[in-house]
Structure 1
Amino acid sequence: MSEIDLRQPDLYTNRQLSLLEFNRRVLAQAEDNRLPLLERLKMLCISSTNLDEFFEIRVAGLKQAMAMGSVQAGPDNHSAQEVLTAISQRAHQLVEDQYRILNSVLIPQLAEQDIRFLRRSEWSPSQRLWLQEYFEEDLLPIISPIGLDPAHPFPRVLNKSLNFIVSLDGKDAFGRSSGYAVVQAPRALPRLIQLPANEAGNGPFDFVFLSSVIHAFVGQELFPGMRVKGCYQFRVTRNSDLFVDEEEVDDLLRAMEGELLSRRYGDAVRLEVAANCPDHLADYLLDEFNLSRDDLHQVNGPVNLNRLMAIYDLVDRPELKFTSFVSGLPRELAPTSDIFERIRRSDILLHHPFHSFLPVIDFLRQAAQDPQVLAIKQTLYRTGPDSAIVDALVAAARSGKEVTVVIELRARFDEEANIALANRLQEAGAHVVYGVVGHKTHAKMMLVVRREGRDLNHYVHLGTGNYHSRTARLYTDYGLLTCNEDIGEDVRRVFLQLTSLGKVSELNCLLQAPFTLHDQLLGKIEREARHAQAGRPARIIAKLNSLVEPQIIQALYAASCAGVKIDLVVRGMCSLKPGLPGVSERITVRSVIGRFLEHTRVYYFENDGDPQVFCSSADWMERNFFRRVEVAFPLLNPEVRAQVIRDLDYYLRDNTQAWVLTAEGHYERLQPAEGEQPLSAQTALLEELTSLS
């Protein structure tokens, strides 16, 4: 049998199309009757938000590549134009399904629970009167309709803002008759208006869309002397990827501040309009935004579905939501006043959100207050507003400790928050650096240097996720607290590299991108192949968000051919095709979509019966291997390692929230076989590690 060329394009799935498939799996949750109703509405909103970002970044990037004449293709060998054509077809179907689920499934079921969205045709006289007063008192004073003529050109439309194109008949006070106007919905007002409960027959949770109110009253006072022939909502999505030529700027922070101003008005990539918008008006808008019909989405409902997310907090109906829980603590963290003493006893593994994020905050707070602590070093990628982590760093800096913070200013969509964070830390006296030119600092590390007797000891926290209290309740992530000398020394060297820009000496046990991580992983995959060929125990398990890097995929294919059993749990993009005869017959790929966003990255290598397990901030993507600073850290403590291996087994046995990837590139949702016990990995971990209420 001749050797198979593992680089041939038909062995790879296009990464962008794979990401769209992930969004379809998220949307499927909105139709799953096993989930609480408001959680299903939330999943619909998440699918809308995901699709927004997909257009802002992925589609925008492909359009940019085409405009620059790029012919570069990925390992699947599809050109940018071919991918855009496929995206248009699939995205239109996805949007159609979103609104079908909203209108035909969720809205009727919500109405059965007395949660109603009232159309204009359903308003009672008293409701109409109340809404007219709302329009006159809250909307009219701040709304500014813009009639279109040579002195009033088409206005600049903010990215993803709610707008209306209005068709007019007649002349204004100055004798002008342009025929069109644009009304921009005030950004300060909510997109959902809750009617007063128990007044004039209102239900407990009756809502009206702001767009409905504008539609209803736009002709009464906004265009006096003219007749409104039609009013149609629209929304434009723009390129939101920032570009800063880091080689040409002297001050990255100032350059980022300048670039952020342009994000709101980047090139248009998608236009959404109401389904009843006439073709001539849709074409008019497409011309204004320099878009084609392929970029047009006509929707039967509000143009911004993710605004429905507000319902989740506005409706106090616990029975329509997931059962609440109180995050647990590892047994090693029994109540104690000295977290350093606990870490000295044993490495501590935290598995969020099943374990509380508070130990991470307490670790930093104690370090900030401890007179024996001399220095604190930390990376920050995303932290969220009102961060207890940042408060502790500020307190430590003000108390005179040496505080060094590596802030990634280019964390997508968090750039503005991180600029404010950098300024706050600098004002407190912390040393703030912005990482490395050309490489995002994505590693999650915290180092505390503590004097104990005559020694300076290193206490470390390493994680797979951000130092962000809110996402620690929504994303699954691992965190390791340790005072292992080799790990502590490695973390110190990486921080030295990030701040001094000097070369890092060889690390003891951490794998670091962009230096050793890629080569080391290739080596470990090839080692498993050699073990399998020699008849020794060989297996690979990897849990990731994305798997698209071609060399890694080729190595996995080769290992499969050599006899290695490979199980992959990949939440989102996956360019590898499992189950291909003679190539990937021993590879399985599954995606788990559940209550929490799967975010842990774990790499397991059987290694002839001496397993190696690494956790990491890095997915198996080109950007993580070559354009980011990442670390993968080994689990050296046998109990900690066994815990993670057991968790992986849960995910590999999940038969309720798991989707299996076929050789044809389709995902099929698993169902328990006849006589098989249902198992959800997330539910099992919730039951074991938390207090459900």
Structure 2
Amino acid sequence: MTKKKVPFLNREISWLHFNERVLQEAADETVPLIERIKFLSIFSSNLEEFYRVRVATMTRLANLNDKSKALLGFNPKKVLNEIKNIVVKQERKFEQLFQATLLNELAQNRIFILNDTQLNVSRGEFVRNHFRDKILSNLVPIMIDPEKPFPELKDRYLYFFVRLTKISSKRSEKFALIELPNGLPRFLVLPETNGLKFIILVEDIIKYCLDDIFYVFNYDALDAYSIQLTRDAELDVDKNISEKFIDELKSSLDKRKKGKPMRLLYDTEMPFDMLSVLVSKVKIESESLIPGNRYHRFGDFIRFPNVGAAELEYAPTVPLKVAGLHRTESIFNKLAEKDYLVNLPYQSYDYIILFLREAAIDPKVTEINITLYRLAENSKVIHALINAAKNGKKVTCLVELKARFDEQANISWTKRLEEEGVHVNYGLSDYKVHSKICLVKRIERGRAVYYANLATGNYNEKTARLYCDHSIFTAKKEITTDLVKLFAALNKKTVTKGFKHLIISPLESRNKFYANIDREIKIAKSGKPAYLIFKVNSLADEGIVDKLYEASNAGVKIKLIVRGICCLVPGIPGFSENITAISIVDKFLEHARVFIYGNNGKEEMYLSSGDLMSRNFEHRVEVGFPVLDKEVKQEIRDIIDFQLQDNVKARDITKLNNNKYHKNKLDVKVRAQIHTYNYLKNKHQ
């Protein structure tokens, strides 16, 4: 009897379906206009990182021998072709949405993005003066010599490929390259006229003033088209953590800038003969050539200026208070009584800063241990930890230097911390430390008492304004005893097992997840109601997918909330008939990881720093922690229920992968993020 093939969607293809949901937000007419432009920006930035990392990896896999490819379970070249087909369609949709819809709606709001051909005399004079004062000195064109190698294109930089021609002689045709420095502001707001607002992009300013750049040449025509190259961004770092590690990492970051070309975006208006010259010079594979839009690096549009009405953006969300916590009362005294929950970004991140500040100045506090993964640019967290060290506390920070695309920032923070007397642990050689945990040791009546913060998101004030996460304060010994053991291991640059309450990767998470799911399977097989509710960013681990299929076949009711990658396919007979999955994409980025087990009427809930991906089980130090306080547990449960009921911003994840908006039998519209804010406002006021 042949075994049925287990349904498992390729993670790259699933990710593209997620980015399609971001594009849906840009198309949603109920979303404010400037926010729709920002969703286009997010879509573009997401895709850029996708090519730098995932497509780069897939390209390497495509070069494996046939035997190695067989072990993968899929054909990398076939996946790369599918990726290109999907991306080209999405880019067309993107361009149609921007050019035909959003620019038109901007015009209806009396806002116009002008290009180099649309400037009248007065605006043209304004632009040229700005160009000569602020831009010209930053530009140094490189003339292309047919006998010399083509200049190395930097990763994600904007360039103009320029052709200079004389009408009288085709043979006098020359080409040049102009690099746009990253520091140049992308947008220029032009003087208002009769209530009309005008914005021009830096590339159109440059195109308008090309003659100012090439005035030394005697050419009749100048044609310039924008291009952008995306390179392989994966690091090649020696895993030995040593004093040389930072130098090795810096070297690898330099290599990243010169990685293999993954994608060349080009303006589709570029003539074919010019494109042919460019492709031959850059030496890029045909599948990596992507017809783009007039404006590349659209991620910069996240800072698109709103020169119109305030209603064109989401109204700012005022961070709410947490009932019972006050700036003028000791958090430690409060935690001795009960746990407290901060739901970000709805409630203020200041509570986390206050916790660290109090620890920094409290004479009873002797030690602070914390793991840091991604930090804000001007981090209040870092400042509090430095002040704690200055006040004589023993402060140990585990700074994960391998946090992708934040490596350089974390190197800088490491140096700053060390200079201020903080002990810095650079992390583990074989694993990324991705956990979000902090432990404070306080001497009370001659004995050590511990207070902890555990979270699903980073200690980062900036992202805390945008990411939906849960952050718990607790003094419960069940949690703090395990944390003491964990930090003792991490500070020795190792990991251990044997934790009673925490679920720690990489040594124990998989088995404990399986055991909790097996318990629900056993309950279901005994004829009793059994259920699982998992909320994650990504579900891509094959072992977990197989285990969830097994649970579904046993009769366990499974509800999944998966924002991004979901390799599990719901609703397949014989595999996932009892599984439903939704994805919520809205104003804030859903980032929390929540795991709920029915447990025969004694519902258990865990929060975690890790998603259901193989890397989180096997290659990272992740911390899952039980929610033990009944009131905190109920609050999170209520928020999860809002998300399960969402019929405004939730999309169904199905085998069709068509991202249809979720519908239910409710007579009222439920938008989870709005409901959550109002619920917390009413509860905590």
TM-score bracket, normalised by the shorter chain, equals over 0.9
Distance in 2 separating the partners of 1:339 and 1:141: 54
**Residue 357 of structure 2 is aligned with which of 357, 365, 375?**
365
Distance in 2 separating the partners of 1:138 and 1:648: 51
Does structure 2 retain, via aligned residues, the 8 Å contact 1:444–1:466?
Answer: yes
The C-alpha deviation readout for 1:501-544, integer Å capped at 9, x for no partner, is 35535112000000111110011111101100001231000000
TM superposition shift of 1:229: 4.4
Distance in 2 separating the partners of 1:690 and 1:113: 33
The C-alpha deviation readout for 1:427-449, integer Å capped at 9, x for no partner, is 01111011111210000000000
Does structure 2 retain, via aligned residues, the 8 Å contact 1:166–1:182?
Answer: yes
> Which residue in 2 is equivalent to 1:167?
163
TM superposition shift of 1:67: 3.4
> Which residue in 2 is equivalent to 1:214?
206
Distance in 2 separating the partners of 1:276 and 1:463: 48
**Residue 190 of structure 1 is aligned with which of 185, 202, 205?**
185
> Which residue in 2 is equivalent to 1:587?
579
TM superposition shift of 1:69: 4.3
Does structure 1 retain, via aligned residues, the 8 Å contact 2:558–2:580?
Answer: yes
Q: How does 1:401-550 map to 2 (within 5 A)?
A: 401-502=393-494, 504=496, 506-550=498-542
> Which residue in 2 is equivalent to 1:346?
338
Does structure 1 retain, via aligned residues, the 8 Å contact 2:109–2:308?
Answer: no
Q: Residue 306 and residue 619 in structure 1: after superposition, are their counterparts in 2 closer, same or farther (change >3 A)?
A: same
Match status 1:276 vs 2:269:
yes
Distance in 2 separating the partners of 1:606 and 1:74: 39
Does structure 2 retain, via aligned residues, the 8 Å contact 1:149–1:178?
Answer: no
Does structure 1 retain, via aligned residues, the 8 Å contact 2:112–2:197?
Answer: yes
The C-alpha deviation readout for 1:121-151, integer Å capped at 9, x for no partner, is 3211111111122222222222111111167
Query: 132-141 or 74-83, which moves further after superposition?
Result: 74-83
Does structure 2 retain, via aligned residues, the 8 Å contact 1:195–1:208?
Answer: yes
> Which residue in 1 is equivalent to 2:17?
21
Distance in 2 separating the partners of 1:605 and 1:98: 40
Match status 1:688 vs 2:679:
yes
Q: Residue 258 and residue 512 in structure 1: after superposition, are their counterparts in 2 closer, same or farther (change >3 A)?
A: same
Does structure 2 retain, via aligned residues, the 8 Å contact 1:367–1:373?
Answer: yes
Distance in 2 separating the partners of 1:63 and 1:555: 30
TM-score computed with the length of structure 1 as normaliser: 0.94
Match status 1:293 vs 2:289:
no
Distance in 2 separating the partners of 1:432 and 1:315: 45
> Which residue in 1 is equivalent to 2:141?
145
Q: Residue 253 and residue 203 in structure 1: after superposition, are their counterparts in 2 closer, same or farther (change >3 A)?
A: farther
Q: How does 1:58-77 map to 2 (within 5 A)?
A: 58-69=54-65, 72=68, 77=73
TM superposition shift of 1:266: 1.4
SS in 2 for 1:438: coil
The C-alpha deviation readout for 1:97-123, integer Å capped at 9, x for no partner, is 111110011111011112210123321
SS in 1 for 2:624: strand
> Which residue in 2 is equivalent to 1:578?
570
> Which residue in 2 is equivalent to 1:306?
299
Q: Residue 590 and residue 67 in structure 1: after superposition, are their counterparts in 2 closer, same or farther (change >3 A)?
A: same
> Which residue in 2 is equivalent to 1:652?
644
Q: Residue 397 and residue 73 in structure 1: after superposition, are their counterparts in 2 closer, same or farther (change >3 A)?
A: farther
TM superposition shift of 1:20: 0.5
Does structure 2 retain, via aligned residues, the 8 Å contact 1:672–1:678?
Answer: no
Match status 1:563 vs 2:559:
no
TM superposition shift of 1:422: 0.3
Identical-pair percentage? 33
Match status 1:240 vs 2:233:
yes
The C-alpha deviation readout for 1:606-652, integer Å capped at 9, x for no partner, is 11111110000010000000000001000011111122222111111
Distance in 1 separating the partners of 2:379 and 2:70: 39
Q: CA RMSD in A?
A: 2.1
TM-score computed with the length of structure 2 as normaliser: 0.95
- Unaligned ranges ≥5, structure 2: none
Q: Residue 390 and residue 565 in structure 1: after superposition, are their counterparts in 2 closer, same or farther (change >3 A)?
A: same
Does structure 2 retain, via aligned residues, the 8 Å contact 1:493–1:505?
Answer: no
Does structure 2 retain, via aligned residues, the 8 Å contact 1:148–1:180?
Answer: yes
TM superposition shift of 1:292: 2.6
Does structure 2 retain, via aligned residues, the 8 Å contact 1:566–1:587?
Answer: yes
> Which residue identity lines up with residue 224 of structure 2 in the other structure?
C
TM superposition shift of 1:379: 0.3
TM superposition shift of 1:349: 1.2
SS in 1 for 2:606: strand
Distance in 2 separating the partners of 1:116 and 1:633: 51
SS in 2 for 1:184: strand
Aligned residue pairs total 679
SS in 2 for 1:355: coil
SS in 2 for 1:413: coil
Distance in 2 separating the partners of 1:450 and 1:70: 59
TM superposition shift of 1:671: 4.3
> Which residue in 1 is equivalent to 2:667?
676
The C-alpha deviation readout for 1:234-265, integer Å capped at 9, x for no partner, is 11111112120214965221111111122222
TM superposition shift of 1:70: 7.3
